[in-house]
Amino acid sequence: MAFDLDYLVRENIKRLLPYSSARDEFAGNAEIFLDANENSFGSPISKNYSRYPDPLQRTIKERVAEFSRVKSSQIFVGNGSDEAIDLLFRIFCRPGIDNILICPPTYGMYAVSAGINDIEVKRANLTSEFELDLDRINGEIDDKTKLVFFCSPNNPTGNSMTRETILEVAASFSGLVVVDEAYIHFSNHLSLLSELDRYPNLVILQTFSKAWGLAGLRVGLAFASEQVIQLFNKVKPPYNVSQIAQQMVLSALAMRAKVDEMREIIVGEREALASKLSRFRSVEKIYPSDANFLLVKTIAPNEIYRSLLSEKLVVRNRSNAELCDGCLRITVGTPNENRALIDAFEKYEKSLVH
C-alpha cells in the first residue's frame, strides 16, 4: 500500500477542533492587549515575561529555514525533540491497535513514548556491526505499523545508518519514517533534510540539546511535509516553547560560528580520547563514533562504572542493552574532564595488579 497521510491520521485527530489561543486569533498591529488575561502590570522580577510567547515560534523557524534550506512551514519547534516524538504517537498511533518499529540498540524514548501511548513496539535489531538489517525490518513491518524510527548517528552505538537503506524503507513503507538526527552536527554524513521534498513520509528530528549546547532550554525541531507539520501544530499545547527559550535559541542561532568551533574541538577530543582509551587492557573495543560520545566495550562494565563513580565521574552503563555486552557510553568532555577520565581508568587498572 502506498503512503496516504489522510489514511494514516487517527480519526479523532482529523475531527479535532484545535484550541485557538488569543494570540492565534489576533495577528494584526495593536498597542493595548486585553485579550489573554495576562498581568498588564508586568512581572515581579527584573525581566518582563508577562506576555504569552509566539505559539508558532515564527522568528526561530525563519532563521532555521534559511540555513536548513527548507520552508518555515516544514518546521515544528518543540519542548525538546521528545515532544515531537510524543506528538507522533498521539497523531498517528491508535492505542492498543497500532505498532511501531525500532532498531535496537537505540534511543530509549521511542519505546517509552510507545508504552505511554499503549502502542506495541516491534524490534528489528541492528546487525553485529550496528548496521540496519533491511530484511529484518521488512519482515517486522505489518499493516498496523505506523512509525519506523531510525536514529542516525545512533545512540548508543555512535555510528550513522546507511542513507540508502533508510530511503529504501521510506520508498516502500506506507507509514512515517522518523529519522532522529540529534547528533548529526558531529557527523560527516549529510542530513536527510535534502530528501524531505522527495519523501512525503519522512520526518527528521534535530535538537538544540547536543551540539548547540542548550539542553537546559528544552528546544527540539521536527522537519516534515507541510501537512504533517500542520498536524503537529493542531495537537501541540498552544504555548509549547517558553518566551525565554525562544529568545535564547534566537541568540544562539546568531552564534553558529561558535557552535561550529565547539563541534571541531569535540570531534578532535573524541578521536584523542578513543586512542587513549584503546590502550587500556580493560578496554576491548571502541566503536567508531559520528557523535559526541564513545561506546566502549570493556571486560568489566559494572566494576569500571563503580570505580569511575568513586572518582566522582559518571558515565552511562549500557551493558544491558541489546548487542552492547560490556559497553559503557562515555560523553566527550572538556580536555580536563577527559584527562580525569583517563586518570580514573589508570587507577582502576592499577587496582587490578597486585
Ligand X SMILES: *Cc1c(COP(=O)(O)O)cnc(C)c1O
Interaction of residue 80 with ligand X, rule CB under 6 A: yes
Nearest residue to ligand X by CB is 80
- Using the minimum distance from each CB to ligand X, give the nearer residue, 101 or 344: 101
Q: Which is nearer to ligand X, 180 or 290 (CB)?
A: 180
Nearer to ligand X, 98 or 180 (CB): 180
Binding to ligand X, residues 129-188 (CB under 6 A): 151, 155, 180, 182
Taking CB under 6 A as the binding criterion, the range among 75-83, 194-202, 265-273, 298-306 that sits at the site for ligand X is: 75-83
Helix axes 335-352, 301-310, angle to 10 degrees: 120
What is the Cα–Cα distance from 97 to 83, expressed in whole angstroms? 22
Q: How far is the CB of 209 from ligand X (least distance, A)?
A: 3
Name the minimum Å distance from CB 147 to ligand X: 14
For ligand X, the closer CB: 93 or 205: 205
Instruction: Cell 549546547: give the residue.
Output: 213
- Tell me how far apart the alpha carbons of residues 106 and 352 are, in angstroms, rounded to a whole number: 33
- Given the complex with ligand X, which of 124 and 211 has the nearer CB atom? 211
DSSP code string of 284-301:
EEE---SSSEEEEEES-H
Q: Does 53 contact ligand X by CB under 6 A?
A: no
CB of 22 or CB of 235, closer to ligand X = 235
Closest approach, Cβ 250 to ligand X, in A, equals: 17
Size of the site for ligand X (CB under 6 A): 13
**Measured from the CB of residue 32, what is the shortest distance to ligand X in angstroms?**
37
Pick from 109, 130, 231: nearest CA to 180: 109
99 or 155: whose CB is closer to ligand X? 155
Smaller CB separation from ligand X, 179 or 229: 179
List Cβ neighbours of 170 (8 Å cut-off, separation of 6 or more). Answer: 177, 195, 199, 201, 202
Q: How far is C-alpha 206 from the geometric centre of its chain's CA atoms?
A: 5
- Single out the residue of 81, 117, 159, 298 in contact with ligand X (rule: CB under 6 A): 81
Residue 87 has phi, psi (to 5 degrees) of -65, -40
Please, where are the H alpha helices in the chain? 5-8, 11-15, 22-25, 58-68, 81-92, 109-116, 134-140, 163-172, 226-235, 243-253, 256-277, 301-310, 335-352
Q: With binding defined as CB under 6 A, does residue 105 bind ligand X? A: no
Strands 327-331 and 293-298: antiparallel
Give the one residue of 74, 113, 191, 209 binding ligand X; rule: CB under 6 A.
209
Q: How far is the CB of 270 from ligand X (least distance, A)?
A: 15
Distance between CA atoms of residues 94 and 11, nearest Å: 9
> In whole angstroms, what is the distance from residue 169 CA to residue 137 CA?
8
Mark 291-330 with x for binding to ligand X (rule: CB under 6 A) and - for no binding: ----------------------------------------
- In terms of CB distance, is 84 or 304 closer to ligand X? 84
Q: How far is the CB of 176 from ligand X (least distance, A)?
A: 16
**How far apart are alpha carbons 123 and 111 in whole angstroms?**
10
CB of 81 to ligand X, least distance (A): 4
DSSP string, 108-131: THHHHHHHHTT-EEEE----TTS-
The answer to whether residue 107 forms part of the interface with ligand X (CB under 6 A) is yes
- Taking the complex as a whole, the smallest distance from the CB of residue 153 to ligand X amounts, in Å, to 9
CA 156, CA 333: separation in Å to the nearest integer?
Answer: 16
Q: Is 146 helix (H, G, I), strand (E, B) or coil?
A: strand
CB of 208 to ligand X, least distance (A): 7
**Which residues would be at the binding site for ligand X (CB under 6 A)?**
80-82, 107, 151, 155, 180, 182, 207, 209-210, 215, 220
